[in-house]
Amino acid sequence: VRHLSKAGWKVHALVPDPSAERALALTKFDNVTLFKGSLGDHESIEAAIAGTDAVFLTQMPSWVDDSETRDARAVLTLAKAKGVKHIVHSTQLKLNNPNLRNSGINPILIPAILGKLDVEDLVRASGLTYTLLRPGWFMTNLLAPIGDTMFPGLSDGKFVSSYTPDTTMPAVDPDDIGAFTAAVFNNPDTYGGKAVTVVSEMITVENILAEIERVSGKKLDIHYRTEE
């Protein structure tokens, strides 16, 4: 939203609660209008999309049903009906693998990966000009509050992980995703029909932890789990 506003776009933001702190934070940028609703509420989607030229679609994966695919289909149908010209869909880096469906994905991760692939297929078939953004591993996974979900105990100085020290993370600052999104919206002829990898830095887990220690001035209690 910040990057689009800075580029001169008028932004319609679909939020579950316009009075929430995170929603109100969007209003500090120019030309931002909040619309209350959710991806499961088709009337609210229609209201938010009305009058827009482009849509940025990003979704949480569903671990219990096909709502991610169902909601995306509704967004695409409404966008096309309302005259939207360009859809930008943010998915994830693993989708660069053309043989992903047959690559032996960990069953735990299937909803988070193949769900994105299903929506990408819908976007391609929508008839709209589209761009797929495939970002890497979020650097913000190490920040509160999600850090302790990804790595329980991190805020207390403990790092326990199934990664190995030399695991290389294709890390991305989410701010860079915003910058790429604005660039894509501003140049639909250049990016239309393309999948764009968005990675800020290739960095090993060992170097990530060393950087955390350097910035915090504190030593981490690091434990790498065995394969077992």
Tally the C-alpha atoms within 13 A of residue 223's C-alpha that lie toward its C-beta.
10
Beta strands in the chain (DSSP E): 11-15, 32-36, 54-57, 86-90, 129-135, 137-138, 158-161, 168-172, 194-198, 201-204, 221-224
207: left (phi over 0), alpha (psi -120 to 50) or beta: alpha
Mean pLDDT, the chain, as a whole number? 95
Provide φ and ψ at 96, rounded to 5°. -70, -20
Rg of the chain over Cα atoms, rounded to whole angstroms, equals 19
Provide φ and ψ at 223, rounded to 5°. -135, 120
Q: For residue 189, is pLDDT > 90?
A: yes
Helix (H) or strand (E) holding 75: helix 67-81
Give the confidence band of 227 by pLDDT, cuts at 50, 70, 90: confident
pLDDT tens for 132-188 read: 999 999 999 999 889 999 999 999 999 999 999 999 999 999 999 999 999 999 999
Q: Which residues are CB-neighbours of 180 under 8 A, at least 6 positions away?
A: 133, 196, 198
In 3-state terms, what secondary structure has residue 208?
helix
- Domains of the chain, by residue range, sit at 1-137+171-200
Q: Which two tokens stand for residue 157?
A: 């100085």
- CA dihedral angle for residue 183, residue 196, residue 12, residue 20, rounded to 10 degrees: -110
- The structural architecture, per CATH, of the domain 1-137+171-200 is 3-Layer(aba) Sandwich (3.40)
pLDDT tens for 20-62 read: 999 999 999 999 999 999 999 999 999 999 999 999 999 999 9
